[in-house]
Amino acid sequence: MYLIAGLGNPGPDYRLTRHNMGFRVLEAWAEALGVRLSGRRFQSMSARVVLHGRSLLLLCPMTFMNRSGEAVQACAHYYRLEEENILIVHDDLDLPLGRVRIAGGGGTGGHKGVASVARHLGTREFPRLKIGIGRPEGGQSVESYVLSPFSREERDLVDQVTQLGVRSCESFVLHGLDSAMNEVNGLNLIQTKEERS
């Protein structure tokens, strides 16, 4: 069984913010699979689904970002999951919007949701799908930036990135971590000026 957990903050005030890219990818995948994220089990919205013979649990913790690990750990413990079968989907400041990256472990990058997951699982060696959101410009604070919505000009690219996130999750489940990394880590949805001309 696989646990795919998207990180974000619950409630309408946060729904369209940069910090909620994890939720956005999980919601899009659930819609594509014809299931609905619902309930309160594990302090989360969740859905069970079978994809090509593989059992999945899609999970969006409702604990707020800083306590995401509580929900992930409760679910992982209940189903006795190994960390290699847990994929955490989250926003990443160190990647530009238009890039995603799958990693098999590593540091938290200052992401409080990822840090919470690491703390509660007792390891940093769990796969994660990082969805690039870029860094703030013009002196805007990181906190203000991640909790703000995408601009109108960014929305088409955000939709494309969301679909790439779904594709990345599917590749991880169906083909494994290494294959998924090879498939998606080199992709860039942002065309350079030279490529467009």
Extract the tokens encoding 132: 């690039």
pLDDT value of position 91: 97
pLDDT at 139: 86
Specify the pTM: 0.94
Is the predicted pLDDT of residue 147 greater than 70, yes or no? yes
Q: What pLDDT, on the 0 to 100 scale, is given for residue 190?
A: 86
pLDDT at position 197: 37
Q: Return the CATH fold of 2-196.
A: Rossmann fold (3.40.50)
pLDDT at 192 over 50: no
Catalytic site includes residue 90: no
Residues forming a β-bridge with 174: none
- Confidence band of 191 (pLDDT split at 50, 70, 90): low
* Percentage of residues of the chain with pLDDT beyond 70: 96
CA distance 46 to 167: 19
Q: Which residues pair with 51 in a beta bridge?
A: 54
DSSP single-letter state for residue 109:
T
What was the pLDDT predicted at 155? 93
* Contact in structure between 133 and 21 (CB atoms under 8 Å): yes
Compute the mean pLDDT over every residue in the chain, rounded to the nearest whole number.
93
Q: In the predicted model, what is the mean pLDDT of residues 40-59?
A: 95
Sheet holding 44-51, edge to edge: 44-51, 54-61, 2-6, 86-92, 128-132, 100-103
Please state the φ and ψ torsions of residue 50, each to the nearest 5 degrees. Answer: -110, 125
Residue 64 predicted with pLDDT over 50: yes
Which long-range contacts (C-beta less than 8 Å, at least 24 apart) are formed by 176-184?
A: 177/84, 177/102, 177/104, 177/127, 180/102, 181/102, 181/103, 181/104, 184/100, 184/101, 184/102
What is the C-alpha to C-alpha distance for residues 169 and 178, in angstroms, rounded to an integer?
A: 13
Q: How confident is the model at residue 88 (pLDDT cuts 50, 70, 90)?
A: very high
